[in-house]
Amino acid sequence: MTKTYDYDLFVIGAGSGGMRASRVAAAHGARVAVAEEYRVGGTCVIRGCVPKKLLVYGAHFAEDLQDARRFGWEVPDCRFDWPTLRDNVLAEVERLEGIYGDILDRHDVELFTQRATLTGPNEIALADGTKVTAATILVATGSTPMVPDIPGAEHGITSNEVFNLPAIPRRIAIAGGGYIANEFAGIFHEFSCRVTLINRGDRILRGYDEQIRDRLLQIGLTKGLNFRFNAPIERVEKQEDGSLLIHMGGQEPIETDMLLWAVGRQPNTGGLGLGAAGVKLGRNGAILVDEDNQSSVPSIYAVGDVTDRVQLTPVAIREAQAFADTVFGGTPSRVDYANIPSAVFSHPPIAAVGMTESQARDKLGGEYQTYTSDFRPMKNVLAGRNERSLYKIIVDRETQKVIGLHMIGPDAPEILQAAAIAVKAGLTKAQFDETIALHPTMAEELVLMR
Ligand SMILES: Cc1cc2nc3c(=O)[nH]c(=O)nc-3n(C[C@H](O)[C@H](O)[C@H](O)COP(=O)(O)OP(=O)(O)OC[C@H]3O[C@@H](n4cnc5c(N)ncnc54)[C@H](O)[C@@H]3O)c2cc1C
Ligand SMILES: NC(=O)c1ccc[n+]([C@@H]2O[C@H](COP(=O)([O-])OP(=O)(O)OC[C@H]3O[C@@H](n4cnc5c(N)ncnc54)[C@H](O)[C@@H]3O)[C@@H](O)[C@H]2O)c1
């Protein structure tokens, strides 16, 4: 690397992608600096996956405590204390933030805790006015929640604020039908909040298998969640008592105490100086990159949400690893985007890998087979919980390979992560069937579908 620059690599953003790229590039011997304008760890650790999953665990106790009675436990009427859960989660996040800071320290990555912008293909300006140069710049600034431009939108909160609420509202309306909407619908419902999901379209969780989505919707309705479909929000009105009136196209307005916008995330490229540096942007302001994460300016790379490819932490991490190994490690590698497992931590959760049935229909015509197992988990039967799980396997008729796996039910994400290895490895349905069941489990359904 040339020594005419202050650094070999300057990373903007210490989130999932930026952390991995900084650490690995430094381990490969590069002189690395990273700028973080908020908190080290990024969205996933500070206000995404990690605190969300802890809230999912916290929320699930509502059902566990209820079910425990059927298993012989005398459970007194329990009271949920939100500030206790909130503060414990926030403390855990702070602990993790400290660990991430230590990782940077240990790898001799210089951390600037301030905003950075680009002033040229090799130059960065820090918020305090300092200018630094680097042979390579990696933009890993992530994404930010979208809020529609409608009157009163500012009365709603986003996932940025949801982890710090002073109290759980009595009623919440959640705008959107994707990941965040369905995960927080479950969380708030378990906390005894009256939840209404407001969707501008007619389906939730686009991209997931239709039968699985329908099952989540049915279970949600049975639990008492409210849904509004084809209901674009047009205006939000704050009433004198502080409550909100949400006006939607073609529907009666609804009154609520809190509105959560969960309508997608937008790449963080605004005001970054990318235009001045000559970096080409695509739809939504995403940085356009090639298979090696290189932008239209050869010295500038980008990974993670800011490229708007797949907005998931493990994908950002893989992209960052590939970038650091390719540019600084002398071992070129690329991310394989086929068969990325994903999950929605709803109540109950959904998990999937590979093609949905409708994707198989589009791609293979009639040349695919589906197998389903629709069952009530043993624990739910004894608990008297009328909640059925659904597992679905899609098989390519010609090759007999399992090309899609879709699940809804307790622990589905935990089970699917292991099964995704078999799908990624291209195993056939017969090889699934040859595997002896592990009894009694829910996962055994995967090898028993005929
Ligand atoms: C509520 C929620 C739940 C989620 N749950 C999951 C989940 O369960 N599983 C999963 O895989 N994914 C989940 N995600 C998505 C996941 O968090 C993101 O895909 C991931 O964090 C993207 O990593 P990144 O490195 O691209 O960006 P980020 O992790 O967002 O990091 C970007 C960092 O850059 C900083 N930054 C931005 N601009 C500048 C600047 N100009 N100067 C300095 N610093 C800057 C930001 O402060 C941030 O720390 C969730 C997201 C949300 C919002
Ligand atoms: N479990 C996980 O892995 C997980 C959890 C949370 C978030 N994430 C990531 O973060 C991203 C953002 O999450 P999200 O739930 O905000 O987005 P999303 O893309 O999952 O869902 C957005 C939803 O909002 C709707 N929508 C979009 N614009 C709208 C508008 N103007 N009015 C009303 N509805 C509108 C869409 O139809 C869709 O239903 C996800 O795409 C995902 O990649 C992942």
Per-residue pLDDT tens for 200-242?
A: 999 999 999 999 999 999 999 999 999 999 999 999 999 999 9
pLDDT-based confidence at residue 320 (cuts at 50, 70, 90):
very high
At residue 40, does pLDDT exceed 90?
A: yes
Query: Annotated binding residue at 178?
Result: yes
Mean pLDDT of 133-152: 98
**445 Cβ contact list (under 8 Å, min separation 6):** 373, 375, 389, 391
CATH code reported for the domain at 348-447:
3.30.390.30
Confidence grade of residue 276 (pLDDT, cut at 50, 70, 90): confident
Average of per-residue pLDDT across 70-91: 96
Identify the CATH class of 7-144+266-327: alpha beta
Mean pLDDT of 360-379: 96
For residue 41, pLDDT beyond 60? yes
Classify 153-263 by CATH class: alpha beta
Residue 250 has pLDDT above 90, yes or no: no
Q: Where are the domains of the chain?
A: 7-144+266-327, 153-263, 348-447
Nearest CA to ligand 1 atom 38: 141
The answer, yes or no, to whether any atom of ligand 2 lies below 6 A from the CB of 260, is no
> Do the beta carbons of residue 126 and residue 118 sit within 8 Å?
no
Distance CA 127, CA 113 (A): 9
pLDDT confidence band for 3 (50 / 70 / 90):
low
What is the arithmetic mean of pLDDT over 369-391? 97
The residue whose C-alpha atom lies closest to atom 4 belonging to ligand 2 is: 179
Q: How far lies 287's CA from each of 162, 266, 270, 333, in Å?
A: 28, 11, 11, 20
- Diameter of the chain measured on Cα atoms: 72
* Structural contact between residues 204 and 387, judged by C-beta atoms closer than 8 angstroms: no
> Region 68-72: what's the mean pLDDT?
97
Identical fold, 7-144+266-327 and 153-263? yes
Contact criterion met (CB below 8 Å) for 191 and 168: yes
Q: What is the mean pLDDT of residues 91-107?
A: 98
Spacing, Cα 305 to ligand 1 middle (Å): 7
Give yes or no for a contact between 100 and 40, defined as CB atoms under 8 angstroms apart: yes
Query: How far is the centre of ligand 1, averaged over its atoms, from the C-alpha of 324 (Å)?
Result: 19
User: Which of 45, 49, 205 to mutate to test ligand 1, by most ligand atoms within 8 A of the CB atom?
Assistant: 49
For helices 49-68 and 179-190, what crossing angle results, to 10°?
40
Look at residue 2 and tell me whether its pLDDT is greater than 80: no
183 is in an annotated binding site: yes
77 pLDDT above the threshold of 70 = yes
Pocket of ligand 1 (CB under 6 A): 12-18, 35-38, 42-44, 48-49, 52, 115-117, 140-142, 159, 180, 268, 272, 304-306, 311-314, 316
pTM for this predicted structure: 0.97
> Is 439 among the catalytic positions?
yes
Mean pLDDT across the chain? 97
Q: What percent of the chain has pLDDT over 70?
A: 99
| Ligand 2 contact, 309 CB (< 6 A) | no
| The pLDDT value given to residue 356 | 98
User: What is the percentage of the chain residues whose pLDDT exceeds 90?
Assistant: 98
Q: For 56-60, what is the mean pLDDT? A: 98
CB of 207 sitting under 6 A from ligand 2: no
Report how far ligand 2's centroid is from the alpha carbon of 406 (Å). Answer: 19
Q: Which of 358, 424, 419, 429 is nearest to 396 (CA)?
A: 429
Under the banding of pLDDT at 50, 70 and 90, the label for residue 126 is very high
| Whether the Cβ atoms of residue 197 and residue 177 lie closer than 8 Å to each other | yes
130 in a labelled binding site: no
Query: Residue 260: which of 409, 356, 340, 145 has the closest Cα?
Result: 145
Q: What is the token pair recorded at 431?
A: 């090889």
